[in-house]
Amino acid sequence: VFTQDYFDAPPPPPRTQSAAPLPADAYARIDALASRRIAEGSNGSLFVGDKGMITTGTYGENTRLLPLEKMRGYEFPREFLTRSPGHYRDWIRSCKGGDPSCSNFNVAAPFTEWITLGVLALRFEGKLDWDSKNMRITNHEEANRYLRPSPRKGWSIS
């Protein structure tokens, strides 16, 4: 089971009874880090666990363990994915028969699915149960309406 609390910007929204609780000291730990720069740039992700935190930039770059003392002596796993030389070069390399682009649909589709769920979590309070096989939320019909918007007149696919 994976529980995700999705915040669009600090401070986090008020907790609801139906939301899964974070570790008891999570908000205090996040607040203590708020005055420090925890990721390059102004966007990124912060994962809070019972042994510490991990932060990354918007695209998963600059991954760090927090508190920063945990980075001392840490060895990152070896890279096993081809790194992108840039969006255009990456696409051309793929078209010429090289490795698939780093943002191919096998990568982008699950990522988009995850981000969409985060956006829905901002809109609807409480727990949303996601059925990835059927691409629907099983416990909130109103939230499902936002997953497949109706196309504008003249743009439907038959």
**Tokens in use for 132?**
């990835």
Is a pLDDT exceeding 60 seen at residue 40? Answer: no
Would you state the pLDDT for residue 18? 46
- d(CA 66, CA 48) in angstroms, rounded, equals 9
Has this prediction a pTM greater than 0.75?
no
Question: Residue 14: which of 126, 129, 118 has the closest Cα?
Answer: 126
Residue appearing with tokens 């078209």: 95
Q: Given a cut of 90, is residue 15 above it in pLDDT? A: no
CA torsion, ordered 54, 42, 121, 30, to nearest 10 deg:
50
Of the candidate ranges 13-27, 33-47, 72-86, 132-146, the one whose mean pLDDT is the lowest = 13-27
pLDDT band at 97 (very low <50, low <70, confident <90, very high): very high
Taking all residues of the chain, what is their mean pLDDT, rounded to a whole number?
Answer: 76
Quote the percentage of the chain above a pLDDT of 90: 12
**What 3 state SS string does 79-93 have?**
CCCCCCCCHHHHHHH
